[in-house]
């Protein structure tokens, strides 16, 4: 497959964020300022629009430009981290015009790595990563054992959803939810929800 897969992927992420806008606002309002639904829809919309209209055939450049557009459109912490994820993902695919399943796994692994290092967060701290990491791992292991991209992204979406659910009982240590202390163990994490939505979109784009 060529880079049109990535355009489709960004389009599905943007669409999924749009569909879940109110849900994200609600989740984020419990402890944060509720703007996550706005920054995620605006940010991924800008990323998709840029990718769709660019005519770019280099997978790396396409993702880099999408990330750059997202950072301009959604300059919040979460928006910037998602943009850095796209850009880091672009770095590992730089120069590629043809993509295989393994490249998509590499893209998501680089995306996770960027969010982890730039966000200075570890697994188990009730963040985006707790939804994303199980998805990235499931994607890679399914592909390694011979699954198709469609099958592997479906597994990834399920694992990310499980991760999002498991993150609920974790203690928040980052951002505004951390202020809630032990009470944060009763709250769904909006970042982990974004992670589950991205993996859900990947499954939709690969089906």
How many residues of this chain interact with another protein, rule: CB under 8 A?
Answer: 19
Among 15, 21, 68, 180, binds another protein (CB under 8 A): 68
Separation of alpha carbons 135 and 141, rounded Å = 10
**In this structure, what token pair is assigned to residue 97?**
């015009």
Neighbours of 22 (CB within 10 A): 9
Residue from 23, 77, 151, 158 that binds another protein (CB under 8 A)?
Answer: 77
* Residue matched to tokens 């920054």: 39
| Stretch in the footprint of another protein (CB under 8 A) among 3-11, 28-36, 88-96, 156-164 | 88-96
Does the protein bind another protein through residue 82 (CB under 8 A)?
A: no
- Does 127 bind another protein (CB under 8 A)? Our answer is no
* Binding range to another protein, per CB under 8 A, among 9-17, 26-34, 49-57, 76-84: 76-84
CA distance linking residue 35 with residue 178, whole number of Å:
17
User: Rounded to the nearest 5 degrees, what angle is found at the Cα of 60, between the Cα atoms of 55 and 61?
Assistant: 45
From 21-29, 80-88, 140-148, 157-165, give the range in contact with another protein by CB under 8 A: 80-88
Choice between 83 and 205, CB closer to another protein: 83
Q: How many CB atoms lie within 10 A of CB 35?
A: 17
CA dist., res. 96 & res. 58, Å (int):
6
Using alpha carbons, select from 67, 23, 78 the residue that is nearest to residue 193.
Answer: 23
Shortest distance, position 22 Cβ to another protein, whole Å: 27
Least spacing, CB of residue 90 vs another protein, in Å: 7
Query: Is 80 an interacting residue with respect to another protein (CB under 8 A)?
Result: yes
d(CA 166, CA 99): 32
CB distance 128 to 191 below 8 Å: yes
d(CA 184, CA 66): 33
**Across-strand partners of 98?**
2
Which residue of 75, 97, 144, 179 would you call a contact of another protein, by CB under 8 A?
75
Q: CB under 8 A: which stretch of 83-91, 104-112, 126-134, 152-160 binds another protein?
A: 83-91
Q: Which of 36, 74, 81, 149 binds another protein (CB under 8 A)?
A: 81
Residues that bind another protein (CB under 8 A): 60, 64, 67-68, 71-72, 75, 77, 80-81, 83-84, 87-88, 90-91, 94, 118, 120
């Amino acid at each position: 497959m060529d880079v049109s897969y990535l355009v489709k992927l960004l389009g599905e992420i943007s669409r999924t964020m749009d569909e879940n806008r109110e849900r994200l606002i609600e989740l984020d309002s419990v402890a944060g300022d509720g703007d996550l639904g706005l920054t995620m829809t605006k940010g991924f919309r800008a990323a998709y629009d840029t990718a769709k209209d660019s005519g770019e055939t280099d997978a790396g450049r396409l993702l880099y430009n999408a990330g750059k557009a997202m950072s301009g459109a959604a300059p919040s912490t979460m928006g910037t981290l998602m943009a850095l994820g796209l850009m880091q993902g672009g770095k590992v695919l730089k120069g590629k015009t043809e993509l295989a399943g393994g490249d998509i796994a590499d893209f998501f692994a680089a995306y996770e790595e960027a969010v982890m290092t730039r966000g200075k967060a570890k697994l188990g701290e009730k963040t985006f990563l707790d939804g994303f990491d199980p998805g990235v791992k499931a994607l890679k292991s399914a592909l390694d054992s011979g699954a198709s991209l469609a099958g592997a992204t479906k597994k990834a979406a399920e694992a990310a959803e499980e991760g999002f659910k498991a993150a609920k009982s974790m203690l928040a240590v980052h951002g505004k939810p951390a202020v809630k202390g032990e009470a944060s163990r009763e709250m769904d994490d909006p970042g982990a929800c974004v992670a589950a939505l991205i993996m859900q979109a990947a499954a939709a784009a690969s089906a």
